[in-house]
């Protein structure tokens, strides 16, 4: 008799191409190793305000812990995506160029999505960059700015004339 998990496909064994079985095993081990990490925040003590050194050290430790957890979570996502690519049959193919990824690169970084050439192309185009907050510049165009500057100059000239009168 089938279980709900069998019907929904949770208990299926993916068919892994023979040439990727070793990579698949390495990726699964890496996934398990990363998932077993402790992501809890370190215990904090309420440092006294007069002991700024201890408070700063504690805050630094907390920040480093959060950064490590964030990096680990990002790597887990990359590893899981690589496992899915193996299962779908697209593993080892550069997502940028469509060419095979160098075996040495896959050996060094089994979850890589790009060949060496594809990685450099992606970085040139900005795909390799992390999303950052936009600058604090105003979305005003130069034409609007020059019009506003002219209006400000007229107002300052008028106010200067009013002061003299």
State residue 44's pLDDT score: 59
User: Mean of the pLDDT values across residues 5-30?
Assistant: 81
Q: Which residues does 113 contact at the CB level (< 8 Å), separation at least 6?
A: 78, 81, 82, 85, 94, 95
What band does 141 get if pLDDT is binned at 50, 70 and 90? very low
What band does 35 get if pLDDT is binned at 50, 70 and 90? confident
Residue that wins the pLDDT comparison between 153 and 105:
105
Residue that wins the pLDDT comparison between 48 and 3:
3
| % of the chain beyond a pLDDT of 90 | 30
State residue 10's pLDDT score: 63
Taking the C-alpha atoms of residue 163 and residue 159, their distance in angstroms, rounded to an integer, is 6
User: Mean of the pLDDT values across residues 83-109?
Assistant: 92
State residue 79's pLDDT score: 93
The whole-model pTM stands at 0.60
Query: Sign of torsion, CA 79 77 60 135?
Result: positive
| % of the chain beyond a pLDDT of 70 | 63
Above 90 in pLDDT, residue 91? Answer: yes
Taking the C-alpha atoms of residue 116 and residue 122, their distance in angstroms, rounded to an integer, is 10
β-strand partners of 93: 100
Residues listed for the chain: 165
State residue 134's pLDDT score: 44
CB 31 within 8 A of CB 76: yes
């Amino acid at each position: 008799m089938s279980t709900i998990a069998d019907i929904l496909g949770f208990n299926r064994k993916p068919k892994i191409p023979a040439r990727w079985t070793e990579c698949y095993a390495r990726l699964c081990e890496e996934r398990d190793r990363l998932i077993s990490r402790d992501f809890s925040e370190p215990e904090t003590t309420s440092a006294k305000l007069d002991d700024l050194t201890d408070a700063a050290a504690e805050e630094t430790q907390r920040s480093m812990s959060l950064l490590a957890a964030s990096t680990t979570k990002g790597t887990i996502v990359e590893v899981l995506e690589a496992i899915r690519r193996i299962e779908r049959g697209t593993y080892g193919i550069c997502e940028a160029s469509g060419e095979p990824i160098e075996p040495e690169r896959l050996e060094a970084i089994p979850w890589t999505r790009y060949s060496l050439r594809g990685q450099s192309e992606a970085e040139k185009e900005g795909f390799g960059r992390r999303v950052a907050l936009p600058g604090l510049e105003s979305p005003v165009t130069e034409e609007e700015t020059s019009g506003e500057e002219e209006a400000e100059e007229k107002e300052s000239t008028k106010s200067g004339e009013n002061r003299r009168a």
